[in-house]
């Protein structure tokens, strides 16, 4: 039985019901201690130990993540033998509702897709695979941001009348996701991994630009057969080729040919945005991203960098822009970096990922993990780098 508004769960006062899932009900609530709005996911009465463990696993997965595009989990609590998760209260429709009510423009598809990809990259780097990425698990906020919710729910067993879910087992013998968004390899019985999330993201991207999912059918068997065997219907003519290429890179049935990292999808989408509007579209990223973001030309000079470059390496912006990039790269890594740049253009302008060592202003070197892609229509390259080790001196690195 649903809880009535005004019911107390410890220090939380229950408000309106805002969602129903396979394991329980989600309510808007008020934290009387901290005086803030929260959302509470309350496990159904009599759910049993298995569902309790899955709810705890979900909370642990989400609590391990701290990202602007992932819903924050505050705590797991229990009152009167009812287990519940307390999390950030997100005000806004699901992406599913946004698609149904007004559609999503190509520009917003790129923006939302990059944000979702960034959230997935953050999770994957911490060993967490969502396994249930879909438009219904993305909340659209009023400031054109989205947040991914329900991390860890792929391990739960949904209600038997939820016809959109598949009975394919995951690596723990339970459901691996929502059928229309499931990757082919998962349907074949393989465990879901980060590349399966990327497939699901591709379905969401397609859904945003087209208004419907790429694979459909009258029954679950028909949907599964379409995912395994059919090519998605063509996208509308208004969708730019660059966006089509990103969606196609996500929806490649051969998992080895698909984008291998969510960060690569983010880079590809941001590069599309940069090519369309090289000034205004990336202002937020260049100002606030913790990652090292740059635009470089084919002659090897940085044309634009964000503040993270100075924060990470110590060089001023003027110093970085006035000298060829290769002067900053460790001598032992220059040939490798050049080969990767050539490979970038030999693979149909796809994203390439590699690591190299970059010299800091104090003479030490830092390992950087790169994802880079050409900007469509320009002789420029868009790249994101992230420092992956502590600073180490050139002598140590060369040994």
Task: Report, as residue numbers or ranges, the catalytic residues.
Answer: 132
Q: Comparing C-alpha atoms, which of 250, 253, 305, 273 is closest to residue 120? A: 250
Q: Answer whether 147's CB lies under 8 Å from 73's CB.
A: no
The answer to whether 341 touches 326, Cβ cutoff 8 Å, is no
Mark 269-297 as b/e (b = at least 16 C-beta within 10 Å): bbbbbbbbebeebbeebeeebebbbbbbe
Distance CA 142, CA 311 (A): 31
Alpha-carbon distance of 313 to 316, in angstroms, equals 9
Q: How far is CA 124 from CA 69, 86, 119, 155, in A?
A: 14, 23, 9, 16
| Residues 220 and 236: beta-carbon distance below 8 Å | no
Taking the CB of residue 106, how many other CB atoms lie within 10 A of it? Answer: 16
Which residue blocks in the chain are alpha helix, DSSP H? 49-63, 95-102, 106-124, 184-187, 194-210, 220-229, 241-250, 262-276, 283-288, 307-313, 317-322, 334-346, 394-398
Distance CA 391, CA 359 (A): 9
For 63, counting Cβ atoms within 10 Å of its Cβ (0-12 exposed, 13-18 middle, 19+ buried), the class is middle
**CA dist., res. 83 & res. 45, Å (int):** 9
Q: What are phi and psi of 157, to 5 degrees?
A: -100, 115
Cα 162 to Cα 321: distance, rounded to the nearest angstrom = 56
Strand bridging mode 392-393 / 364-374: antiparallel
With a CB cutoff of 8 Å and minimum separation 6, the contacts of 166 are: 175, 176, 177, 178, 179, 182, 187, 220, 224
Cα separation of 227 and 179, whole Å?
9
Q: Rounded to 5, what percent of the chain is helix, strand, coil? A: 40, 25, 40
């Amino acid at each position: 039985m649903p809880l009535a508004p005004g019911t107390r769960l410890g220090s939380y006062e229950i408000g309106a019901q805002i969602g129903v899932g396979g394991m329980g009900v989600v309510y808007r609530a008020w934290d009387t201690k901290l005086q803030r709005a929260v959302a509470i996911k309350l496990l159904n009465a009599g759910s049993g130990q298995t569902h309790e463990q899955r709810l705890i696993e979900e909370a642990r997965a989400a609590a391990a993540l701290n990202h602007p595009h992932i819903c924050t989990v505050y705590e797991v609590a229990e009152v009167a033998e009812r287990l519940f998760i307390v999390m950030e209260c997100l005000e806004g429709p699901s992406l599913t509702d946004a698609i149904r009510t007004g559609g999503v423009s190509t520009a917003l598809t790129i923006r939302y897709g990059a944000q979702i990809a960034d959230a997935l990259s953050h999770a994957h780097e911490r060993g967490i695979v969502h396994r249930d990425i879909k438009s219904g698990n993305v909340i659209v906020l009023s400031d054109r941001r989205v947040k991914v919710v329900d991390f860890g729910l792929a391990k739960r067993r949904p209600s038997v009348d939820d016809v959109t879910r598949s009975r394919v087992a995951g690596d723990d013998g339970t459901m691996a996701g929502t059928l229309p968004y499931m990757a082919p390899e998962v349907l074949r019985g393989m465990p879901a991994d980060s590349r399966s999330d990327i497939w699901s993201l591709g379905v969401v991207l397609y859904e945003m630009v087209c208004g419907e999912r790429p694979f459909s059918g009258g029954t679950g068997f028909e949907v599964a057969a379409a995912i395994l065997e059919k090519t998605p219907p063509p996208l509308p003519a208004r969708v730019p080729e660059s966006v089509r290429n990103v969606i196609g890179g996500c929806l490649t049935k051969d998992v080895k040919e698909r984008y291998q990292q969510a960060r690569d999808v983010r880079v590809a989408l941001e590069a599309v945005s940069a090519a369309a509007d090289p000034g205004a579209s990336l202002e937020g990223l260049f100002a606030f991203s913790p990652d090292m973001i740059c635009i470089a030309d084919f002659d090897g000079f940085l044309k634009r960098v964000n503040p993270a470059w100075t924060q990470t390496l110590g060089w001023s912006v003027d110093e970085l822009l006035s000298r060829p990039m290769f002067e900053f790269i460790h001598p032992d890594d220059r040939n490798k970096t050049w080969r990767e740049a050539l490979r970038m253009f030999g693979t149909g302008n796809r994203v390439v990922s590699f690591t190299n060592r970059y010299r800091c202003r104090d003479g030490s070197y830092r390992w950087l993990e790169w994802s880079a892609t050409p900007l469509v229509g320009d002789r420029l390259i868009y790249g994101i780098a992230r420092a992956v080790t502590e600073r180490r001196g050139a002598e140590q690195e060369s040994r």
